[in-house]
Structure 1
Amino acid sequence: MSILDVSDLNVWFGKHRDRVDAVKGATFSVAKGESFGLVGESGSGKSTILRAITGLAPDWSGSIVVEGQQLTKKRPKAFFKTVQMVFQDPYASLHPRHSVDQVLGETLHLHGFKEIDSRVVKLLDDVGLGQKFRFRYPHQLSGGQRQRVAIARALAPEPDLLLLDEPTSALDVSVQAEILNLLADLRRDRGLTYVMVSHDLSVVGHMCDRLAVMKDGEIVEILDVAALRAMKATHPYSKHLLEASV
């Protein structure tokens, strides 16, 4: 059973002569519990697809269906209990004047949860931080710790689907593996579904079951991870990406 069905998705920015077509005719499905990758060079439209799903890219056409519900231009509140997004830059995605407790507590309150104190503590434990980080501010955290807070915030509404926009690319190499392992553990423990954007094929090979290769706004090929590891792409651009990653 699929949790996400994207069909003939087009996303654009600007109007008339200033219009830029960022995504053209993208079609793919993601099964419940699967981890699905979107790969390609910068500007290929990967992150734009995630933004269209969440409603951050308002100009789109085609079909986006989440858990059987056809999305319209406006996302209902219930949508954000099902779908959450972790952004690339943990420095930009957290409010500098809000403590970790405020970030998580306000998110839980917004989604109507009770027993907020105990839920904040549980979220911090789940992402490997613990209570000692609860009243710290973003400037008191390392990049990896900030991203753990961002992941905790995304987990707060208890979503089924997490959209991961290059969640480790802004981090030091030594921290990247820790965050990827955390995400893998959370997926297993919570039965989550991931759609992960990355330009790094080794990350996708580690994290994903299948992947779509994007070039100039179009999906040129969908591979399973076994084909990726065996270097068995069919499209010339996919082959080029694989060869460049070796």
Structure 2
Amino acid sequence: MTAISVRDLNVWFGSGAARSDAVLDVSFDVAEGEIFGLVGESGSGKSTILRAISGLVPTWSGTMTVAGETLGKRRSQSFYSKVQMVFQDPYASLHPRHTVDRLLSETMRLHGIRDVDDRIVQLLGDVGLGAGFRFRYPHQLSGGQRQRVAIARALASNPAILLLDEPTSALDVSVQAEILNLLSDLQRAHRLTYIMVSHDLGVVGHLCSRIAVMKDGRIVEVLGVSEMRQLQAQDPYTRKLLASSVHSIR
């Protein structure tokens, strides 16, 4: 079954002479339970695709079908129950004056979830944080702990799909591996579908089964992760990108 289908997606900012095209004629499918990567240099359009899917960018054309719902300019409440996003900076994405308990409980109440207390304890356990973290504020947490809270918040509505926008790039290298392993464990445990954006081929190679390589707003090639590791790319840009990261992907 297909969890995400994107066809002829164009995304732009501004209008007239000031218009800037960020994504151009992008098409791809993601199967249920798959971890699909979008990679490329800064400005290639990969994060913009996630923002278009999640409804954060209103200026787009094309067709997007996600979790059985064909998307329009506005997202339904049921969409946000099924699809959640984890952002790059875990500190900026958490309200600094809200405790972990409030961050999680408000999300669950928004989605009509009952048994909030039990669910908070379960979520903190799922992401490797104990109940002792429940009433802490973001400034009392390390970067890795904050990202674990952000992941717990994304899981609060029991989604089927997570959109991961550079979820480890703001973290130390040692912590990156912990978060990647956590995401892998959660994906298997909950049969989640991921789209993961990264500029780091080593990161997507650790987690993804397929990757789409982006350049100047377009997908230039889609590779299986085994092809990526064996440097079996057809497009010249992809070959150059793989060659520059050969030590991190093998």
TM-score over 0.5 (shorter chain): yes
Partner of 1:110: 110
Distance between the aligned counterparts of 1:243 and 1:187, measured in 2?
29
What SS does structure 1 have at the residue aligned with 2:98?
Answer: coil
Give the structure 1 partner of residue 54 of structure 2.
54
**Residue of structure 2 in register with 1:31 after alignment:** 31
SS of 1:177's equivalent in the other structure is helix
Match of 2:101 in 1: 101
Structure 2 distance, partners of 1:240, 1:3, is 31
Alignment match, 2:80: 80
Equivalents in 2 of 1:96, 1:212: separation in Å? 35
Distance 2:68 2:131 in 1: 38
The number of aligned residues is: 246
Q: Deviations over 1:191-219 (max 9, x none)?
A: 00000000010111110010100000000
> Which whole-Å CA distance do the structure 1 matches of 2:30 and 2:168 have between them?
22
1:120-199 alignment runs, 5 A limit: 120-199=120-199
Task: Note the C-alpha offset of 1:67.
Answer: 2.2
Deviation at 1:237, TM superposition (A): 0.4
Secondary structure of 2:77's aligned partner: coil
With normalisation by structure 1, the TM-score equals 0.99
CA distance in 1, matches of 2:225, 2:140: 38
Q: Which amino acid aligns with 2:125?
A: D
Q: Percent identity?
A: 67
Distance in 2, Cα, partners of 1:40 & 1:130: 36
One-letter amino acid of the counterpart of residue 19, structure 2: R
- Partners of 1:142 and 1:13 in 2: how far apart? 35
SS at match of 1:78: helix
Gaps of 5+ in 2: none
Q: Amino acid of the residue matched to residue 205 of structure 1? A: G
> Aligned partners of 2:217 and 2:37: how far apart in 1?
15
1:93 partner SS = coil
Cα distance in 2 between the residues matched to 1:144 and 1:69:
33
Q: What secondary structure is seen at the aligned counterpart in 2 of 1:92?
A: coil
1:240 aligns with 2:240: yes
Moved more, 40-49 or 66-75: 66-75
Aligned residue identity for 2:24: K
Distance 2:80 2:176 in 1: 26
Looking at structure 2, the residues matched to 123 and 160 of structure 1 have their Cα atoms a distance apart, in angstroms, of: 15
Counterpart code for 1:15: S
Q: Which residue of 2 aligns with 1:206?
A: 206
Aligned AA (2:44): S
TM superposition shift of 1:231: 0.5
One-letter code aligned to 2:180: L
Taking the aligned partners of 2:243 and 2:141, their CA distance within structure 1 comes to 37
Structure 1 residue identity aligned to 2:47 = S
Stretches of structure 1 that go unaligned for 5 or more consecutive residues are none
Dislocated runs of 4+, deviation >3 Å:
none
Deviation of the 1:242 alpha carbon: 0.2
Deviation at 1:91, TM superposition (A): 1.1
* Distance in 1 separating the partners of 2:67 and 2:168: 27
Q: Give the CA deviation at 1:174.
A: 1.3
In the other structure, the counterpart of 1:224 is: 224
CA distance, structure 2, for counterparts of residue 142 and residue 205 of structure 1 = 26
Measured in 2, the distance between the counterparts of 1:27 and 1:118 equals 41
- The whole-number CA distance in structure 2 between the counterparts of 1:184 and 1:88 is 17
Q: Which amino acid aligns with 1:216?
A: D
SS of the residue corresponding to residue 183 of structure 1 reads helix
Partner secondary structure for residue 25 of structure 2: strand
